[in-house]
């Protein structure tokens, strides 16, 4: 006879909450299986997002939570992940070989959006996901430089119409910058720019991506409109800095996505605080609490706040972004946490839309 019941185990599991969602395993649909044999409890968890860097930590926390609620229990936890596709806006069909498209946007330039997009993509990949990165800034492509791709690199052709993505730091990437020289200006009207974006997106031979991160240009113009109407976007991340003028523009970006039924997965606050390298004094140069304020106002999670650090700029300029340059450093840890939180909120949305997780099975051996 089992020492513990199903109800007891479920109640014990409710004591632990996913740190990326603040919800328990039953609410997130991540509980896959429970098996009870006397005092031995086996729990299988399948997250909807990759979490390689914290896997051991999560296993330990879940086991400890159950053992605290059920003294005398011997708890064994297995944890893996399965990334599902979330439905896009207006029921646009998902792209073949791409599960989820996530737009990284800002209302204005200069807030570190491209740096965030690159490190977000690298963070997702570091956690165990398959990730692509598309530079949607046709007028001012920056990803080739930020990824350290040589200027003379050109994508190979696959067949008569498709282009092979350029591999960089474990990502599949594409940019108009790979097709032009560094000093060639793009002097195109809006329809040509929109057409170029669609070609880059649809004529790149993406290979089985869990996420395709699209780095948008700032503002709410032609590219954003094309994205909203013709590209199956699963969600958006808004990048801002704490000062009031940046927050005003960030609100415009949020409102744009709301109007076209693209969920905002969260807010990233850049340049939140500067730590003096000599004395350690913390100075909020651009204001304080702006990211939290806008997140609360719009009911979107604050995914994370990043410091104003010279290293972030230097590493991006050198073609070796922070998550790749210092994977075990404190700033890379923030980016990876932002990546997990974003992916967790997207996974919760996919689960709520009806993408099935395996049923819980209770076994009494």
Q: Cα(18)–Cα(345) distance, rounded to whole angstroms? A: 11
The confidence score (pLDDT) of residue 359 equals 45
* % of the chain beyond a pLDDT of 70: 89
The answer to which of 95-104, 184-193, 199-208 has the lowest mean pLDDT is 184-193
The confidence score (pLDDT) of residue 107 equals 75
**Residue 329 burial class via C-beta count within 10 angstroms: exposed 0-12, middle 13-18, buried 19 and up:** middle
pTM of the predicted model as reported, rounded to 2 decimal places:
0.90
Find the DSSP H helices in the chain.
Answer: 6-13, 25-28, 55-69, 113-127, 143-146, 190-202, 222-230, 244-259, 290-298, 310-317, 322-325, 330-352
Q: Three-state DSSP class for 33? A: strand
Q: Are 13 and 31 in contact (CB under 8 A)?
A: yes
The confidence score (pLDDT) of residue 217 equals 87
Which residue do the tokens 């840890």 mark? 333
Q: Cα(23)–Cα(26) distance, rounded to whole angstroms? A: 8
Per-residue pLDDT tens digits for 219-277: 777 788 888 888 999 999 999 888 777 778 888 889 889 888 899 999 999 987 766 66
Per-residue pLDDT tens digits for 118-155: 999 999 999 999 999 999 988 878 999 999 999 889 99
pLDDT score of 300 more than 60: yes
pLDDT score of 364 more than 60: no
pLDDT score of 356 more than 50: no
Average confidence score pLDDT of the chain: 88
Q: Which residues sit opposite 71 in a β-bridge? A: none
Kindly list the domain boundaries of the chain, sorted by start residue.
Answer: 6-82+355-364, 89-327
Mean pLDDT value of segment 348-356 = 76
pLDDT score of 287 more than 60: no
The confidence score (pLDDT) of residue 207 equals 96
Indicate if 89-327 has the same CATH topology as 6-82+355-364: no
CATH 3.90.1310.10 assigned to domain 6-82+355-364? The reply is: no
CATH architecture, range 89-327:
3-Layer(aba) Sandwich (3.40)
The confidence score (pLDDT) of residue 19 equals 96
The confidence score (pLDDT) of residue 355 equals 45
The confidence score (pLDDT) of residue 201 equals 94
Per-residue pLDDT tens digits for 12-41: 999 999 999 999 999 999 999 999 998 999
pLDDT score of 69 more than 80: yes
The confidence score (pLDDT) of residue 211 equals 98
Highest mean pLDDT of the ranges 85-89, 245-249, 335-339: 335-339
Select the more confidently predicted residue: 272 or 309: 309
The answer to which of 53-57, 267-271, 275-279, 349-353 has the lowest mean pLDDT is 275-279
pLDDT score of 1 more than 60: no
pLDDT score of 161 more than 70: yes
pLDDT score of 280 more than 80: no
Mean pLDDT value of segment 162-179 = 95
């Amino acid at each position: 006879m089992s020492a513990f019941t199903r109800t007891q185990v479920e109640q014990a599991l409710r004591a632990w909450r996913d740190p990326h969602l603040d919800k328990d395993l039953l609410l997130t649909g991540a509980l896959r299986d429970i098996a009870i044999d006397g005092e031995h409890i086996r729990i299988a968890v399948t997250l909807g997002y990759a979490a390689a860097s914290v896997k051991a930590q999560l296993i330990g926390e879940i086991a400890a939570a159950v053992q605290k609620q059920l003294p005398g229990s011997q708890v064994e936890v297995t944890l893996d992940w399965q990334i599902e596709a979330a439905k896009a806006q207006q029921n646009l069909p998902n792209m073949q070989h791409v599960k989820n498209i996530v737009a990284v946007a800002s209302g204005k330039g200069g807030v570190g959006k491209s740096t965030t997009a690159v490190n977000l993509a690298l963070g997702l990949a570091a956690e165990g996901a398959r990730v692509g990165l598309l530079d949607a800034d046709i007028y001012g492509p920056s990803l080739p430089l930020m990824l350290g791709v040589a200027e003379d690199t050109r994508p190979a052709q696959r067949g008569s119409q498709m282009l092979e993505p350029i591999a960089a730091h474990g990502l599949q990437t594409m940019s108009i910058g790979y097709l032009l020289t560094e000093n060639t200006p793009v002097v195109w009207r809006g329809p040509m720019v929109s057409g170029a974006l669609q070609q880059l997106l649809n004529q790149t031979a993406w290979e089985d991506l869990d996420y395709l991160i699209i780095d948008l240009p700032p503002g709410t113009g032609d590219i954003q409109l094309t994205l909203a109407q013709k590209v199956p976007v699963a969600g958006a991340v808004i990048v801002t800095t704490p000062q009031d003028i940046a927050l005003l523009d960030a609100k415009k970006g949020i409102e744009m996505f709301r109007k076209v039924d693209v969920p905002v997965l969260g807010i990233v606050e850049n340049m939140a605080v500067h730590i003096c390298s000599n004395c350690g004094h913390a100075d909020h140069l651009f204001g304080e609490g702006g990211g939290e304020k806008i997140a609360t106002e719009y009911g979107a999670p604050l995914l994370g706040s990043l410091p104003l650090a010279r290293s972030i700029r230097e590493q991006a300029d050198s073609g070796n972004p922070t998550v790749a340059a210092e994977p075990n450093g404190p700033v890379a840890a923030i980016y990876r946490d932002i990546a997990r939180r974003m992916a967790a909120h997207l996974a919760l949305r996919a689960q709520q839309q009806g993408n099935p997780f395996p049923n819980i099975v209770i076994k009494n051996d």
